[in-house]
Structure 1
């Protein structure tokens, strides 16, 4: 079933964490980075809904650069720097419990749900700054609480820090970095067919980026936020990407929105609410604390709007939507490697209400 061929079409030590924190706070203190200034001012939010802290039974492990995704009615918090457990939250009971641990360290990912299973691809493993890209798709089956090593990602297209989306039975892998945090950022777009095991390389995006999440709206893939990580040139965080690239799955063409992301940043989460692209949190050289901004783009009006801010800014985590509620958990409260969080926030939304 898994034929991982490519078809072309047009240390987990305290010292490592200390280094990440020191680097984030000090190494760019003297950098003059004009790219971090907001490019345009989104309309102010008019919503009454606000983020809330979910009261839970038990707590998950603190972590950042993790995945967080809804699968079959539950929320799965996985990965992060260091070997972290799989923590599972049941909204019906408000309880956390642990599942089977991933087979190795996973971080810098956008996990997705497919066929009632959890899929991880486009992720990194290992230590900063030249982390390795994972070579195979990893699949977690909630029904059996087991991990499976899935198809190989074509060697020449392996990377991490990528955006990943599922659409009409296909899995799309967008952007990323094939050298961890070194200057290996790419604009690649690939699609994987789980039914046939076939990978297909599609047209490159207009802009390379890593440290971002992607979404699908009306047969179009949106790649927003992120950066071009280039630690080897001293530009680990400074090359943020404000342009929003959109791939039309039907026409197989890219275009770039006329209205860029208002607050350029990377390490963001992204979800779709009522047909809008919602970009959450992130990190940049603009500030030491992680961003708490939540900005939404409406394709119908072609305008950005400011949504309710996170009570605690964060980067390096994922947001997910379940039963009309946006959930986000964990992440780092400052740029770089900490402090790591383990709280669970939610934004309740009526299914037919736009914040």
Structure 2
């Protein structure tokens, strides 16, 4: 083949694969910073998607650099790119967890108290009704920083987290990590105790994927964990799965197709820092893969998915209480 024909053939080959290259590039997940920020600087939030809106309630807020506990509730409409202020919580609280069963919106546990008892843990279950947030039930015991998720059958599961170790309930040292696993039936307000999770931890993340409840990451007083454990509702047993590639705590996650996407987090030991990493877990392959890093690394953040768009909101850009933010960034699959 002479040089001219070789170049023509080579060019044709390149053109034939170019559409594949373009298609792959277009399908890669991408970050964008266009979504409207939350109307408040907020971290330590556990938001949820309810009736096509992303709700966030309570948390540790900051104004002019001064932290305070919030009783505010906001919801975000991705279609209009606008936030709406909802009914205020009965009291200021942080680390309280929202969950929706599709028709009803609930708020579980968390902490409430003044500066002499910042870590006073709650045992209340609230529901957002027409006249505002109303307590409708009580947890089996005070609970916070666990994984709360609605199962396909509409029941609500609380797994691990922290609870008071004794009667004392005011300081961080009053609490300990637990292996408890509870199921709550919203209609009858009945609590059931299920198989405990093997590894106790706080600040983990997770959710139901079909009949499997995935819990990953988190920490104890000794440091961060990378453990991933999965509860099978059919066998009523837990099993160990592939560990999170990095031991991350204070993360957020959403369910996608065959797995879970985990965002951000923080670590204190051996060095305090905030994570930029994003990981995707495949349940069928029991494997983690990396996705594009966050535009703004954060911990104590929240996330909600609407189709191919995931909105990653709030959190702090530095370890602990440093850099509390109103950031809202979109991750498009």
Q: TM-score range by the shorter chain?
A: 0.7 to 0.9
Aligned to 1:176, which of 131, 137, 161?
161
Q: How many residues align?
A: 291
Deviations 1:102-148 (A, max 9, x none): 1112222442112433211142223598612222111124xx36111
Q: Is the 8 A contact 1:112 1:119 kept in 2?
A: yes
Distance 1:162 1:59 in 2: 24
For the 8 Å contact 1:88–1:97, the answer to whether it is kept is yes
For 2:89, which of 83, 88, 102 is the aligned residue? 102
Task: Quote the residue 1:52 is aligned against.
Answer: 32
Greater Rg, structure 1 or structure 2? 2
User: C-alpha root-mean-square deviation of aligned residues, in Å?
Assistant: 2.2
- Asked if the contact 1:84/1:105 (under 8 Å) is kept, the reply is yes
The Cα shift of 1:187 comes to: 0.9
The answer for the alignment partner of 2:124 in structure 1 is 136
Task: Give 2:150's aligned residue.
Answer: 166
Instruction: Quote the Cα distance in structure 1 between the aligned partners of 2:249 and 2:183.
Output: 23
2:279 is aligned with 1:295 = yes
Mark the runs of 5 or more structure 2 residues left unpaired by the alignment.
1-24, 61-68, 165-170
Using the size of structure 1 for normalisation, the TM-score is 0.77
Question: Which structure has more RCO (C-alpha within 8 Å, separation ≥ 6)?
Answer: 1
Secondary structure in 2 matching 1:328 = strand
Instruction: Tell me by how many angstroms 1:101 deviates.
Output: 1.1
Q: Secondary structure at the match of 1:149?
A: strand
Structure 1: 5+ residue runs without aligned partners? 1-44, 231-237, 350-355
Is 1:66 aligned to 2:45, yes or no? yes
Map of 1:150 onto structure 2: 136
**Alpha carbons of structure 1 residues 256 and 347: separation in structure 2 relative to 1, 3 Å:** same
TM-score of the two chains, using structure 2 as the length reference: 0.81
The reply on whether 1:114 has 2:97 as its aligned counterpart is no
Please tell me whether the aligned partners of residues 129 and 181 of structure 1 are also in contact (alpha carbons under 8 angstroms): no
For residues 132-281 of structure 1, the aligned pairs below 5 Å read 132-141=120-129, 144=130, 146-155=132-141, 158-167=142-151, 168-179=153-164, 181-182=172-173, 183-228=175-220, 230=221, 238-257=222-241, 259-281=242-264
| In structure 1, C-alpha distance between the alignment counterparts of 2:232 and 2:48, rounded to whole Å | 24
Q: Distance in 2 between matches of 1:218 and 1:115?
A: 15
**Is residue 177–residue 210 contact of structure 1 (8 Å, CA) maintained in 2?**
yes
The corresponding residue for 2:63 is none
Distance 2:311 2:59 in 1: 17
Distance in structure 2 (CA, Å) of the matches to 1:46 and 1:264:
31
